[in-house]
Amino acid sequence: MSKLWQKTTNVNQLVESFTVGRDTEFDHQMAAFDVLGSLAHTQMLESIGLMSSDDLKLVQRELKAIYKDIEQGNFTIEPGVEDVHSQVEMLLTQRIGDAGKKIHSGRSRNDQVLVDLKLFFRNELQQVVEETQILFRQLIELSEKYKDVLLPGYTHLQVAMPSSFGLWFGAYAESLGDDLELVLAAYKITNKNPLGSAAGYGSSFPLNRTLTTKLLGFDSLNYNVVYAQMGRGKTERIIAQALSSIAATLAKMAMDQALYLSQNFAFVSYPDTLTTGSSIMPHKKNPDVWEIMRGKCNRIQALPNDVAMMTTNLPSGYHRELQLLKELLFPAFTELKSCLHMATFMLQNITVKTDILNDPKYAYLFSVEEVNRLTLSGTPFRDAYKQVGLAIEKGEFNPDKKVNHTHEGSIGNLGNEHIEEAFNKLVNSFDFAKVKQAIEELVK
């Protein structure tokens, strides 16, 4: 079957297979967004006289029918059809004739795929935010529920000072808040309209790019048409950094979970149905979920470097290897959302041990507490430190195991309400409602 750009020469089949790669697989994920872009673009073409109102009605009707087919899972890219853009245009032309041939005026596949990607990434980032929000709430809930249950704190994996489950769960909640700062930055850069940049050098048609920006719910334009094309790769790089930040938080939490579930720690436990056994050791309860999550998230942390290596030293303009970025980003979204979902699910079933610090091996946790008590009673800090240190050396240290931490963010004053306030303010900054309204208006 011929391609949109094909004249009389057929491409060698080996070249065809090598250059297309997995693109068709990922194009299916962009299909709905390709139709959205065309719905906006054709409205704009009619507004500047490049499409009649009658043709627009035909095109809009069939585009919305194709959009519905996609949502219902009834859309495929037929064998021999190059990409999703070709498939949609072919379907339109088959159904409504010459009007379907007019939808490509004033655009290139370069800016068409750019807008598809921006819409896809915007939607995926929203889903990441929503999954992160659910996990955040679960962590805050656990932090409040177990805020009075003490836990050993470690430095260098050595027993250090008293901590609490309230601090532990709350720490990961606040970490997710900082991660969303990067996601918000990625979202803002993603939420700019490249449509109308064509092949990267604009068009002699009087395109109304402000109109398509409004119709698609973008915050603003990528104004400079050369930069709009240069933004491909840069957008993916920034998104990769945001995803890797969340992944780093999850990987660290997964490591803690695997450690604390081991018999040497035994700080937490899970139902047998959520752990796995050994083919030879009948006592085993393996934290496979957390270990797989750790591995997946460590792989996502490598994503920014993978994207950088794909795009380093490319000059301005379009280059074919940019399509390979889909192979990096698309699966990463799927993996990260899965990890966020599983982390929430596991934490909904966690049991914490409530008497951990009764074990004599944790007595030294309270050495700093004792030094501080002596200091508060008037002993100079350095003298108090020496006094407690000598008692430990002689085996005479017998601590008072009461903990009195009251400053902001400590065991007795977690500050969860402030963490929640900041997180909710951040989530509201994404303004997903504006995008939803624009898309609903476009397809109604």
- The alpha carbon dihedral of 134, 136, 141, 145 has a sign of positive
Q: How far apart are CA 5 and CA 154, in angstroms?
A: 63
pLDDT at 7: 54
pLDDT (average), residues 228-235: 93
Least confident segment among 23-32, 34-43, 286-295: 23-32
Give 266's contacts (C-beta < 8 A, 6+ positions apart): 260, 353
Give the Cβ contact number of residue 433 at 10 Å. 10
More reliable by pLDDT, 396 or 224: 224
Q: Whole-number mean pLDDT of the chain?
A: 91
The CATH architecture assigned to 109-358+411-432 reads Up-down Bundle (1.20)
Q: What is the amino acid identity at position 123? A: N
Contact criterion met (CB below 8 Å) for 289 and 274: yes
Chain Cα centroid distance, residue 2: 38
pLDDT (average), residues 221-237: 95
Same fold: 13-102 with 109-358+411-432: no
pLDDT at 320: 84
Confidence of residue 2 (pLDDT cuts 50, 70, 90): very low
pLDDT at 21: 64
Question: Residue 150's closest CA among 170, 169, 168, 165?
Answer: 165
Phi, psi (rounded to 5 degrees) for 89: -65, -40
DSSP single-letter state for residue 51: S
Does domain 13-102 sit in CATH 1.10.275.10? yes
> With 50 as the cut, is the pLDDT of residue 194 above it?
yes
pTM higher than 0.85 for the full model? yes
Residue % of the chain over a pLDDT of 70: 95
> With 80 as the cut, is the pLDDT of residue 8 above it?
no
> With 90 as the cut, is the pLDDT of residue 341 above it?
yes
Q: Distances from the Cα of 43 to the Cαs of 52, 256, 284, 440, in angstroms?
A: 10, 53, 63, 15
Contact criterion met (CB below 8 Å) for 105 and 188: no
Query: Which neighbouring-strand residues pair with 286?
Result: 276
> With 80 as the cut, is the pLDDT of residue 116 above it?
yes
> With 50 as the cut, is the pLDDT of residue 315 above it?
yes
More reliable by pLDDT, 297 or 8: 297
Per domain, the residue ranges of the chain are: 13-102, 109-358+411-432, 360-393
> With 50 as the cut, is the pLDDT of residue 380 above it?
yes
pLDDT (average), residues 392-413: 89
pLDDT at 173: 98
Phi, psi (rounded to 5 degrees) for 187: -65, -40
> With 60 as the cut, is the pLDDT of residue 6 above it?
no
pLDDT at 1: 42
Q: How far apart are CA 32 and CA 54, in angstroms?
A: 24
